[in-house]
Amino acid sequence: MPPSTAESSAKTTNNWQTLGTLLPYLWQYKTRVILALTLLVLAKVANVAVPLVLKDIVDQLGTKDVALALPVTLILGYGALRLSSAVFGEMRDAVFAKVTQGAIRKIALQVFEHLHRLSLRFHLERQTGGMNRDIDRGTKGIAFLLNFTLFNILPTLVEIGLVAAILLQKYHWTFAAVTFGTIVLYIGFTLGITEWRMHFRREMNDLDSKANTRAIDSLINYETVKYFGNERWEAERYDLSLAKWETAAVKNQVSLSFLNAGQATIIALGVTLLVGMAANGVVKGTMTLGDLVLVNAFLLQLYGPLNFLGFVYREIKNSLADMEKMFGLMGRNAEVKDREAAQNAALTDAQVQFNQVDFSYDSNRPILHGVSFSIPAGKTVAVVGSSGAGKSTLSRLLYRFYDVNAGAITINGVDVRDMVQSSLRAQIGIVPQDTVLFNDTIYYNIAYGKPDATRDEVIEAAKSAHIYDFIMQLPDGFDTTVGERGLKLSGGEKQRVAIARTVLKNPPILIFDEATSALDSHTEKAIQAELKAISANRTTLVVAHRLSTISDADEILVMREGQIVERGTHRNLLASNGVYAQMWALQLHEEGEQD
Instruction: Say how many CA atoms lie within 13 Å of 287 toward its Cβ.
Output: 23
Single out the residue of 412, 411, 409, 365 nearest to residue 390, CA to CA: 365
Least confident of 180-189, 469-478, 574-583, 584-593: 584-593
Cβ proximity of 345 and 426 under 8 Å: yes
Spatial distance between the Cα atoms of 266 and 213, rounded to a whole number of angstroms: 42
User: What domains sit in the chain, N to C, each tagged with a CATH number?
Assistant: 15-330 (1.20.1560.10), 352-594 (3.40.50.300)
Q: Tell me how far the alpha carbon of residue 293 is from its chain's centroid.
A: 52
Spatial distance between the Cα atoms of 445 and 288, rounded to a whole number of angstroms: 79
The pLDDT assigned to 541 comes to 92
Q: Across-strand partners of 371? A: 357
More confident residue, 332 or 454: 454
| Mean pLDDT, range 133-144, rounded to an integer | 74
Please name the amino acid found at residue 280.
N
Please name the amino acid found at residue 145.
L
Least confident of 2-16, 429-443, 506-520: 2-16
pLDDT band at 1 (very low <50, low <70, confident <90, very high): very low
pLDDT higher than threshold 80 for residue 298: no
pLDDT band at 383 (very low <50, low <70, confident <90, very high): very high
pLDDT higher than threshold 90 for residue 353: yes
Query: For the stretch 37-55, what's the b/e string if a residue is b when 16 or more beta carbons lie within 10 angstroms of its beta carbon?
Result: bebbebbbbbbbbbbbbbb
| Mean pLDDT, range 93-100, rounded to an integer | 83
Least confident of 61-75, 228-242, 418-432: 61-75
Spatial distance between the Cα atoms of 188 and 366, rounded to a whole number of angstroms: 57
Cα angle: 245, vertex 249, 252; to 5 degrees: 140
Spatial distance between the Cα atoms of 413 and 409, rounded to a whole number of angstroms: 9
pLDDT higher than threshold 80 for residue 368: yes
pLDDT higher than threshold 80 for residue 201: no
Cβ count within 10 A of residue 199: 16
What percentage of the chain exceeds 90 in pLDDT?
8
pLDDT higher than threshold 90 for residue 132: no
Spatial distance between the Cα atoms of 351 and 297, rounded to a whole number of angstroms: 82
Spatial distance between the Cα atoms of 281 and 43, rounded to a whole number of angstroms: 31
Average pLDDT, the chain: 80
The pLDDT assigned to 123 comes to 63
Please name the amino acid found at residue 362.
D
Least confident of 69-78, 212-221, 246-255: 69-78
CA distances from 160 to 183, 293, 303 (A): 9, 18, 9
Single out the residue of 84, 90, 98 nearest to residue 31, CA to CA: 98
The pLDDT assigned to 455 comes to 92
Q: Across-strand partners of 253? A: none
Cβ proximity of 308 and 90 under 8 Å: no
By three-state DSSP, how is residue 564 classified?
strand
Would the pTM of this model clear 0.85, i.e. be above it? no
Torsion of CA 129, 134, 138, 140, to 10 degrees: 40
The pLDDT assigned to 2 comes to 43
The pLDDT assigned to 129 comes to 58
Spatial distance between the Cα atoms of 527 and 532, rounded to a whole number of angstroms: 8
The pLDDT assigned to 15 comes to 63
Spatial distance between the Cα atoms of 515 and 166, rounded to a whole number of angstroms: 80
Starting at the edge strand that comes first in sequence, how are the strands of the sheet with 352-362 ordered?
Answer: 365-375, 352-362, 406-411, 414-415
The pLDDT assigned to 63 comes to 64
Spatial distance between the Cα atoms of 142 and 122, rounded to a whole number of angstroms: 25
The pLDDT assigned to 340 comes to 80
By three-state DSSP, how is residue 466 classified?
coil
Widest CA span in the chain: 125
Spatial distance between the Cα atoms of 502 and 505, rounded to a whole number of angstroms: 5
Spatial distance between the Cα atoms of 549 and 546, rounded to a whole number of angstroms: 6
Cβ count within 10 A of residue 33: 17
By three-state DSSP, how is residue 367 classified?
strand
Spatial distance between the Cα atoms of 91 and 36, rounded to a whole number of angstroms: 8
Q: Across-strand partners of 380? A: 540
CA distances from 584 to 437, 528, 571 (A): 33, 19, 11
Q: DSSP for 386-437, please give it.
A: STTSSHHHHHHHHTTSS--SEEEEEETTEEGGGB-HHHHHHTEEEE-SS---
pLDDT higher than threshold 60 for residue 69: no
| Mean pLDDT, range 306-311, rounded to an integer | 66
Spatial distance between the Cα atoms of 348 and 378, rounded to a whole number of angstroms: 10
pLDDT higher than threshold 60 for residue 70: no
pLDDT band at 517 (very low <50, low <70, confident <90, very high): low
The pLDDT assigned to 33 comes to 83
The pLDDT assigned to 594 comes to 53
Single out the residue of 571, 542, 562 nearest to residue 372, CA to CA: 562
Least confident of 121-125, 244-248, 416-420, 572-576: 121-125
What Rg value do the Cα atoms of the chain yield, rounded?
35
pLDDT band at 147 (very low <50, low <70, confident <90, very high): confident
More confident residue, 26 or 277: 277
pLDDT higher than threshold 60 for residue 544: yes
